[in-house]
Chain A
């Protein structure tokens, strides 16, 4: 790990870059998985009085609008050279955090549907500008060999905090906690964006030139990776699949009180801690595998874990279906723990992958398309499908059965795809069959 070398050689500017990146990404991701994913549902249903279906439609709209804003931001960043200007990125990020700070502060006061809609539109602008800018900081702050480990640290800290700290899933609570947490962040970003004194300038100058050394991603050495090339499109499609499967399954799990109260919202702290630790273990494992194996192997593990998780969930449900009396006996924390490991796996991959598929000149566009299509579009589509399932009155088992089928299909498809690619390589190498 290069981080240890930098500490040993007292390259404190570089070390500060690692810490800053992890802190920013943890804060952003924690905000996303708590306030955006959970707080808005509470805001829409409880305070505004909308139906769950209506809120889900608004959230799908948020995902789609965020994708559009992100792609526009990413392309603009690359074309105007903002992707290689550290100070500009900090200023953009400062603007985003200010907007989100204000939105978070006023969220609990929203009471009308138009107000909720306006909040969603403004939030999508903040999120859409925020994630390509924050991901692009990886090219300045994180050396390529350490991106897997840094991604693991971000995932582990964010998920551990989200699961271990017992917050009620209410927009008021999230708002209070996040406003308090964001206030010092706003201050730090203001200093990084606008202040100028010798020591700070020296650190920022050092960090600002690091993209010349660390900027070219792991998969961009040799042939350049373009947004329209297969080398970029295939990971986007695979990540879309992972996000889609996760979101489709999780939407139904959190809608099922018996599953939710025995796992992520268990009143028992030890259960939540167990899940939090599983997230950390999954993230560390993913970081190690990302740093030591090819990308295809990481995807294979991710798909295998998701397939296994859903096989376990559906097996339990089938079992309870055959023996209904057992259904009231509670559920084991093993299934959510395995789910947590699978989620940490692909989240780690998501944090490392897009900077590694880009250069300082393309990071804005690539991270916007990557996360926008794989993350936000997948969330939009899975929410739409989940709503359709809800309208069709699908049972929990049938719903998760579809998710299981998709996860198995992804695993099988990837295995076949890799095998076929190897066959094509062999055919090209040998010009046909050889003995």
Chain B
């Protein structure tokens, strides 16, 4: 596991620890090799190799598995969380807290004693049509309400962003991809400092909001091409049509994903380029050409 691969999962662990609110004084990580542990830090992260709690040992602390293998034969007085890799809780082992599985492979003996077993089910889009429709409706309601409000109250603002999308799609795409990627990396590294973790979470959330803003504007642009007179209603219909088209494009392998990504970065760039619609984007004029 390279640092670049390990860092995101370690950040997830840190996030989970900070959200959990426990008093963590010490954190240890195992990256490789076979290791039997008789005692633990407050939190121990298994990122590689094999870490074993022997049958005769009782350790106090939480264990997070993000790679490699954790084998519990003794007693763990705390929680065990599996994010990636392998976990086995063998016959006679005890976990006093919660055994939480998010991903990876877990084998828990039926005769092991575990305080509570919890398995995180990844919500898959195809798992339930009702869920998909619900999610779609929720997204439509949020974006529709926002688009309606913007068109009715600040039509120039949404028009400015729309013009940046239609007339300067390439520039918006470039700025969007550069800006979104740079900010994403920045926020991830800010999170890793722990001190800036709250700011990183706010920043990532803000990035998501900008993408949604861009989607609302795409919907507005679709709405302007519909034969509906009232701007607000046209925007609502446009957002519905746009979201539906976006959802359907996801069914096309590779190309659908590429289209969704392109829409996100172009929208992001257009919002940023226009200062959230406060100013019309005008590229610089370069003198010296032969064309007017």
Contact = CB atoms under 8 A, between A and B. Distances in A.
A330 B178 contact: no
B189 A311 contact: yes
Contact of A145 (B171, B186, B286): B286
Nearest to A262: B2
B56 interface: no
A336 B31 CA distance: 24
B175 A289 contact: yes
Interface stretch (B3-11, B78-86, B133-141): B3-11
A5 B289 CA distance: 11
A338 B177 CA distance: 13
A221 interface: yes
B1 interface: yes
A350 B167 CA distance: 28
A2 B291 contact: yes
A331 B4 contact: yes
A163 interface: no
B2 A5 contact: no
Main SS class of interface, A = helix
12 contacts: A2-B291, A5-B290, A143-B288, A144-B289, A221-B288, A291-B286, A308-B186, A315-B7, A315-B192, A325-B32, A325-B48, A326-B47
A325 B28 CA distance: 13
B287 to A, nearest CB: 4
B29 A218 contact: no
A143 to B, nearest CB: 6
B174 A145 contact: no
B33 A325 contact: yes
Interface stretch (A79-87, A184-192, A316-324): A316-324
B132 interface: no
A232 interface: no
B31 A325 contact: yes
B284 interface: yes
B123 interface: no
Nearest to B171: A292
Nearest to A221: B287
Contacts of A329: 1-3, 6, 31, 48
B170 interface: yes
B185 A292 contact: no
A331 B5 CA distance: 9
B280 interface: no
Interface of A: 2, 5, 143-145, 213-214, 216-218, 221, 284-285, 288-289, 291-294, 301, 304-305, 308, 311-312, 315-316, 319-320, 323, 325-326, 328-332, 334-335, 338
Contacts of A316: 2-4
Contacts of B32: 325, 328
Contacts of B227: none
Interface string B148-184: 0000000000000000000010110011011000100
B178 A285 contact: yes
B2 A330 contact: yes
A218 B4 contact: no
The 9 residue pairs across chains A and B that have the minimum distance between CB atoms = A144-B288, A332-B4, A292-B283, A325-B31, A145-B289, A316-B3, A319-B3, A221-B287, A145-B286
A332 B5 CA distance: 8
Nearest to A146: B289
Contact of B182 (A2, A145, A284, A305): A305
Nearest to B170: A288
Contacts of A334: 4
Contact of B291 (A5, A216, A221, A294): A5
Q: What interface size band does chain B fall in? A: 20 to 34
B4 A335 contact: yes
Nearest to B286: A145
A325 B189 CA distance: 21
A288 B171 contact: yes
Nearest to B288: A144
B174 A285 contact: yes
Given A305-B182, A325-B33, A326-B3, A292 B289 contact: no
B292 to A, nearest CB: 11
Given A5-B291, A335-B4, A323 B284 contact: no
Contacts of A331: 2-4
Contacts of B30: 325
Contacts of B290: 2, 5, 143, 213-214
Contacts of A5: 290-291
A294 B285 CA distance: 9
Contact of B3 (A143, A288, A320): A320
A216 B5 CA distance: 50
Interface string B63-104: 000000000000000000000000000000000000000000
Nearest to A330: B2
Contacts of A325: 30-33, 48
B210 to A, nearest CB: 18
Contacts of B3: 315-316, 319-320, 326, 329, 331-332
B171 to A, nearest CB: 5
B198 to A, nearest CB: 20
Interface string B262-292: 0000000000000000000001101111110
A292 B286 CA distance: 9
Contacts of A214: 288, 290
Contacts of B192: 315
Given A315-B192, A330-B2, 15 more contacts: A143-B288, A145-B289, A213-B290, A284-B174, A292-B171, A304-B182, A308-B186, A323-B29, A325-B33, A326-B6, A328-B32, A329-B3, A331-B4, A332-B5, A334-B4
Contacts of A2: 289-291
Contacts of A284: 174
B2 A218 contact: no
Contacts of B288: 143-145, 213-214, 216-218, 221
A294 B284 contact: yes
B267 to A, nearest CB: 17
A331 to B, nearest CB: 6
A323 B32 CA distance: 11
